Structure 1
């Protein structure tokens, strides 16, 4: 293969999985140089990003697993344990997670630290957070600005002004990986309370599910205009908040909302972004033999839904909502997590995130 032209080599190599490429880098200096080239990394990602995310990162304190969910959940060869010394000290900490372009955002709960990890290359970068301004709640988002070729961390601090008022305000700050700096980007009066903690990136905006006294809504922070807008949900103002769990995700390139109640979950998908009438109930799950709601993560290549629950398990469901398989990945379970905090999922359910393998590096 050494005798092949470089353009033909590239066409072959970009179709190989990361695991094979990492081995090929060890063959010679020429292979190392070719595969380590940023141009090759972009070509490979463009090829792989046309497919579904192919792995899930699952955390339990310092234990971090990378799981190929397209294989059987009981296939041990699908599991790679990431030995990352940087996280050895987090035995009693959970991580909030999100992913973008193969990088995983890791936020230790109750600590003012953020890490960006490429699970494929094991490269990790710690991001310094600015001093906390307010103490009600902080929203987080991780996204990619295509125009600037830059990765951004969005931080929104929630507070009341005055403290006795019912008006909630959000102060937005954005960290640029390229400039290695934070910038303030406005204060927004939202009138909401108890937002979900981790946002999801879609259509150039980071989205969070929030609750008003009479409704469930989605707010979106546009990273280009640095403005906040509302996205309609499928629920009316007469929705019942009692013993109901809500959760926001992005599946198949669409905003997706989970509604869980009484051993039954409904999953709604917004087929056309921003159009309320396009919300469609496309999945229904019953889990009478389980103790927790099933939080959707992704789909396998053959169309099965992969979800996580509150007992450090992953499960697969067919299109009829029937359980196909389930596996617990850690020997020690977390305490019971069936909590209804203002009708939103507890931060536990952000311990797993799907991602696409990549050789990309941060700017």
Structure 2
């Protein structure tokens, strides 16, 4: 009979689907796979695998095919979803099919001030955080609220003198969330605003200083091969700027015009596992994506399959 530590080492190398099957083999395997420390070890294994093979796992996106729900972010296998109808927010792990309704925020948005969200993992606090930003008016800035998943309690961050033209969710990268916002005193210029999840503070990220650079109308943020990128979302992707060294203005690089024709993008594959009956789409790895969907793909959240539960505290499970 194999020793428990040997079994653990073997199980850690399996993907989530196989691990879920293994929980039915015997009580001891179920107990082992369900333990929080095993979930964290498996997540660490997945992260290391992602780092070593970024083009395979790091470029996998998740997309929700729904007219009444939006994906507001994904981190470590958890996916944040909001309802357009009543602004209810939930977290789910599509791989394990766990589903959790979050508390309502302190201040609710309405049809006149649709919110902007961001979701990600705070490694310093070992916690997941949801950021909700509500426009107060074109020239009046934004009200920001933050939810800690551990406490499931919202707190008011306060007012910032920035606003947003659309409600696209923040791009999660390097422990922070990123949006293209405008200054309430300069509504015609786009700023890259970053919210550090650990420090809980905003800062501005420098943009390229190049006469070819212009994002006044169609510029969007995304992740390309583990780098923050800026791209044009209208029609065919003619331009892509990539920040090679994080937060260094001089490191922005304009990719060659033929980069989009290389097989780096993916088509979408249906997967119906997301509850409650919400169809989601996972991206495959080697097929060129339709160019008409390119802009959507680049800004979709990166997704990896994990055992991480939306219920941080076991006593909150239904």
What range describes the TM-score normalised by the shorter chain of this pair?
0.7 to 0.9
Secondary structure of 2:43's counterpart equals helix
Instruction: Give distance in 2, aligned partners of 1:100 and 1:208.
Output: 17
What's the offset of the Cα at 1:143? 1.1
Instruction: Give distance in 1, aligned partners of 2:38 and 2:283.
Output: 35
1:225 is matched with which residue?
199
1:60 is matched with which residue?
65
TM-score of the aligned structures, taking structure 1 as reference length: 0.68
Instruction: Give distance in 2, aligned partners of 1:254 and 1:139.
Output: 23
Highest relative contact order (Cα 8 Å, sep 6+), 1 or 2?
2
Match status 1:117 vs 2:122: no
Deviates more, 1:228-237 or 1:172-181: 228-237
Q: Are residues 147 and 281 of structure 1, via their aligned partners in 2, closer, same or farther at CA, if it must alter by over 3 Å?
A: same
Structure-to-structure mapping, 1:165-314, within 5 angstroms: 167-190=139-162, 192-211=163-182, 213-234=187-208, 244-261=217-234, 263-282=236-255, 284=257, 304-306=264-266
Q: Are residues 264 and 20 of structure 1, via their aligned partners in 2, closer, same or farther at CA, if it must alter by over 3 Å?
A: closer
Q: Are residues 170 and 349 of structure 1, via their aligned partners in 2, closer, same or farther at CA, if it must alter by over 3 Å?
A: farther
What's the offset of the Cα at 1:152? 0.8
Match status 1:155 vs 2:132: yes
Relative to its length, the structure with more helix (as a share) is: 2
What's the CA shift string for 1:228-260, capped at 9, x where partnerless? 110012266996568x52221133332111124
Secondary structure of 1:48's counterpart equals helix
Q: Which of 107, 115, 140 does residue 138 from structure 1 map onto?
A: 115
Match status 1:99 vs 2:74: yes
Q: Count how many residue pairs are aligned between Structure 1 and Structure 2.
A: 288
TM-score of the aligned structures, taking structure 2 as reference length: 0.77
Q: Which runs of 5+ in 1 are unaligned?
A: 62-91, 161-165, 288-293, 295-301, 319-323, 329-335, 339-344
Q: Which runs of 5+ in 2 are unaligned?
A: 269-279, 313-318
Relative to its length, the structure with more strand (as a share) is: 1
2:4 is matched with which residue?
6
Instruction: Give distance in 2, aligned partners of 1:140 and 1:107.
Output: 9
What's the offset of the Cα at 1:42? 0.9
C-alpha root-mean-square deviation of aligned residues, in Å?
Answer: 3.6
Q: In the alignment, is the contact (CA less than 8 A) between 1:315 and 1:327 conserved in 2?
A: no
